[in-house]
Amino acid sequence: MTIKKILGNGAPVKIWTDEVDQSTLDQLSDLSELPFIHKHVAVMPDVHAGIGSAIGSVIPTKGAIIPAAVGVDIGCGMMAVKTSLKASMLPDNLYELRSEIEKRIPHGRTSNGGSGDRGAWSNPIERIAYYWNMFLSDEYEEITTKHPKAKGYNTISHLGTLGTGKHFIEICIDESDYVWAMLHSGSRGVGNRIGSYFIEKAKEEMERYFILNNLPNKDLAYLVEHTEIYDDYVNAVSWAQEFAEFNRQVMMDIVLKCMSEFFPSFTITDKAINCHHNYVAREHHFGASVLVTRKGAIRARKGDLGIIPGSMGAKSYIVEGLGNDESFHSCSHGAGRRLGRNEAKMIYTVADLAEQTKGIECPKDESKIDEIPAAYKDIDQVMGNQNDLVKIKHTLKQVLNVKG
């Protein structure tokens, strides 16, 4: 399903859904007017309004990059592992397993993110120190020495932590009754700081060249290729994406360790899938080398495995890419929000949350109402709209959910 739209006087916009609100269309129209868009903008079926550009947009650019389109949750993505466990081997009550995962992986946010924040390590475990010192610390020092204002307060203390809001850890059952571990998180506070800093630097660059006031939206401020600040940003984004990938790997190691203590005999049967859905990459499309920004989209080249989660009360999917050229080899990153967080809190109650997550071991309190399944689009409709982008390999239904 592809709906081609010409929005304003810009590049074509190709949309894989007919359900798009006006504010999202306005953002897509503004984006399409930028002169360095390559061929067209591809819009996934879970699209909804964001900051700078719509979430669910795939933006190929030649000669420039838009930091706000990449966003501040750089490298946010998913990881999933299939195990040899069968559903029949799980106990009827998974509360103890959920509690153990919650004890071992920092999640949420307290103390306004300051001292004693439950979402950060007070004393990082040995595995985290190894990843940080071996793979991340030296390059981060180079980046922040040159750009001190890009330095975050939580660096190693956020490696291997879940975060808040939409981020989660789940135990799921597939169509053959095999048990999977799955999680969703990104580059945490350190990536947020890098993203926020370079978004402002892009605006400063636009102002310096008298371009800012001529942009359709100031959040579309960009950095121009072959400039030092562009190179510095691409380098910093690449580092944050690496941090995010390690972040997910550390958490998955902990989740599997927890599971092994409850179920000593299980093994991992499939290669782990670890994929970004907020990131930028150099790729070749329609005869040109371009930067592809996927803001709420995953890469779906032919044969690529990816993860498309629904809400905390719906199904999720392991998919295989079909390599659709028109989508720049991309697909959706989830169901996509139907309601804003504040709107969901005004409409629904704790009782509604409990009803919509019946049978799932998960937190069911007021703080999680904004993540209620009804706040999200119908994942089956989203999947139906992109059957030319991916094919379904596995259908997962969660039985345990840990929310940030």
In this predicted structure, the answer to whether residue 156 has a pLDDT above a threshold of 90 is yes
If you count DSSP H runs as helices and E runs as strands, how many of each does the chain have, helices first? Answer: 10, 17
Q: Which of 158, 329, 333, 394 is catalytic?
A: 333
Predicted pLDDT of residue 1: 65
Is 316 annotated as ligand-binding?
A: yes
Annotated binding residue 384: no
Instruction: Give dist(CA 285, CA 38) in Å, integer.
Output: 9
295: pLDDT confidence band, cut at 50, 70 and 90? very high
pLDDT of residue 6: 65
Q: Is the pLDDT of residue 226 over 90?
A: yes
CA dihedral 188, 402, 249, 284 (to 10 degrees): -70
What digits encode the pLDDT tens for the residues 370-404?
Answer: 999 999 989 999 999 999 999 999 999 999 999 88
Catalytic residue status for 285? no
Q: Is 333 annotated as a binding residue?
A: yes
pLDDT tops 90 at residue 193: yes
Summarised one tens digit per residue, pLDDT across range 250-284 is 999 999 999 999 998 889 987 789 999 999 999 99
User: Which candidate, 266, 295, 317, 325, places its Cα nearest to that of 39?
Assistant: 325
Angle at 95 between CA 117 and CA 362, to 5 degrees: 65
- Residue 39, pLDDT score: 96
Establish whether 5 is an annotated binding residue: no
Q: Tell me whether residue 134 is annotated as binding.
A: no
Look at residue 399 in the predicted model and tell me its pLDDT: 96
Find out whether 259 is annotated in a ligand binding site: no
User: Domains in the chain, please, with CATH?
Assistant: 5-338+376-403 (3.90.1860.10)
Q: What is the mean pLDDT of residues 120-132?
A: 91
How far, in Å, CA of 319 to CA of 210, rounded?
45
The annotation status of 309 as a binding-site residue, yes or no, is yes
